[in-house]
Amino acid sequence: MYDSIVIGAGIAGAVAARTLAEEAGKKVLVIERRNHIGGNCYDAFDQNGILIHEYGPHIFHTNMEEVFSFLSRFTEWYLFGHEVVAKVGDKLIPVPFNLNTLQMVYEKKKADRLAEKLIAEYGEGSRVPIMKLRENEDPDIREIAQFVYENIFLKYTMKQWGQKPEEISPEVTGRVPVLISHDNRYFQDRYQGVPKDGFTPMFERMLDHENIEVRLSTDCSDVLRFSDQGVFFEGERFEGDVIYTGPIDELFECRFGRLPYRSLNFVFEHFDRESYQGHSVVNYTVSEEFTRITEFKYLTGQQDTDGTTIVKEYPFAYTGAEGEIPYYAILNEENQALYEKYQALAAGIKRFYLLGRLAEYKYYNMDAMAKKAMELARSLKK
């Protein structure tokens, strides 16, 4: 009845299913345990008629023409240069830290002098990790690095990852950039924005194909059994390809222990007023227990509404309890070794493929995920 089975209807599963159905003519069954498609990119209207992102704000951004044109078959876009500000003291300053931020945190004469120094040292348009700035001999440049470290990086990272300052690896610190430019955009990608009528309709169109059947509210363990003898679907041996985008540890009853993740508690609030913060995303980098507030109407461009809905994000350690969602894989050697034990078990199942952030225990942006899904599906076309 089916040539291939895809578990999970997030961007990994949906792109893989469409590619298999369309380019290889395969009959594909998509199994999704939630009662909706879209995975964590899912959006929907709240009770006040405001389009919200239920699993955290998502902005699509890419330089990959192939991915952008593939997704553009299923949606028009509301494209914009995504900007983020950080609340530091009583100011909202652009992040990543750039030459405009410099003008906001120092008085003009000093800011002009520092900007000249940064341009002379690193060149206009460059992107310098703060670790590199901190190594500079010039005390002015070190002062900027120290400001960024203390006011933009440290507390935010501690909240996000639940770490103490001494536990934060210098590698992570080193990646925080300072932009030697007046570009306030958070991403520098060519295309950035959101689907004009939302992510969920984009997924609906992607999965709307005569060769694709979607079963919602179905956990793969309801219909599938995996063993070294192969895959059994509804009690019978299944000979086709199976792509799994769910958590790899759950597939094997977490027999070696759970893979650690950070989770997030999303607290939504609605206000009967035009605007709450006037920005799509405000990061709280020195105060508060939440990491950021997103005001959806500034992200989605929605205008047919008087009120406004926001979401606050509170990070916490994922325990696997009912209702918790694993969001960010915690990448270190120990966890990677644990992942590889599960990966070795999966490798023993014939025609079984791991794909996606949960199955690969890895952070992916949407565009990279879509690309990887297309590549895997194309490799299975024969």
Ligand X SMILES: Cc1cc2nc3c(=O)[nH]c(=O)nc-3n(C[C@H](O)[C@H](O)[C@H](O)COP(=O)(O)OP(=O)(O)OC[C@H]3O[C@@H](n4cnc5c(N)ncnc54)[C@H](O)[C@@H]3O)c2cc1C
Helical segments of the chain, H only: 11-23, 65-72, 99-105, 108-122, 130-135, 139-148, 155-161, 170-175, 199-207, 220-223, 248-251, 297-300, 333-347, 366-379
CB of 261 to ligand X, least distance (A): 10
Q: Identify whether the C-beta of residue 58 lies closer than 8 Å to the C-beta of residue 40.
A: yes
Task: Candidates 32-40, 233-241, 286-294, 374-382: pick the segment binding ligand X (CB under 6 A).
Answer: 32-40
CA nearest to 261, candidates 337, 331, 326, 338: 326
Contact flags string 39-68 toward ligand X, x per CB under 6 A? xxx--------------x-xxx--------
Produce one character per residue of 115-132: b if its CB has 16 or more CB atoms within 10 Å, e if not.
Answer: beebeeebeeeeebbbbe
Cβ neighbours of 70 (radius 10 Å): 19
Contacts of 116 (CB under 8 A, 6+ apart): none
Residue type, 273: R
Considering only residues 356, 371, 376, 377, which one is a binding residue for ligand X as defined by CB under 6 A?
356
Q: Which is nearer to ligand X, 41 or 349 (CB)?
A: 41
Q: Binding segment for ligand X among 200-208, 290-298, 332-340, 358-366 (CB under 6 A)?
A: 358-366
Q: What whole-number distance in Å separates Cα of residue 225 and Cα of residue 223?
A: 7
3-state secondary structure of 63: coil
The nearest distance, CB 62 to ligand X, in angstroms, is 8
- The region of 5-13, 122-130, 146-154, 283-291 touching ligand X under the rule CB under 6 A is 5-13
Q: Which is nearer to ligand X, 103 or 291 (CB)?
A: 291
Residue of 27, 34, 127, 205 interacting with ligand X (CB under 6 A): 34
The window from 25-33, 230-238, 279-287, 316-324 that contacts ligand X (CB under 6 A) reads 25-33
The C-alpha atoms of residue 214 and residue 199 are separated, in whole angstroms, by: 17
Residue 150 per-residue DSSP state? I
- Is 19 a binding residue for ligand X by CB under 6 A? The answer is no
Please select the residue that binds ligand X; options are 142, 346, 365, 378, rule is CB under 6 A.
Answer: 365
Rule CB under 6 A: say whether 11 interacts with ligand X. yes
Does residue 114 interact with ligand X by CB under 6 A?
A: no
Taking CB under 6 A as the rule, which mask of x and - marks residues 184-223 in contact with ligand X?
-----------------------------------xx---
- Rounded to whole angstroms, what are the CA distances from 349 to 31, 159, 186, 262? 19, 39, 42, 29
Q: How many residues bind ligand X (CB under 6 A)?
A: 33
3-state secondary structure of 221: helix
Is residue 10 a contact residue for ligand X (CB under 6 A)? yes
Q: Are 337 and 33 in contact (CB under 8 A)?
A: no
Shortest distance in whole angstroms from residue 42 CB to ligand X: 8
Q: Which of 6, 29, 31, 179 binds ligand X (CB under 6 A)?
A: 31
Q: Contact between 32 and ligand X (CB under 6 A)?
A: yes
List interacting residues with ligand X (CB under 6 A). 7-13, 31-34, 39-41, 56, 58-60, 219-220, 245-247, 264, 327, 356-358, 364-367, 369
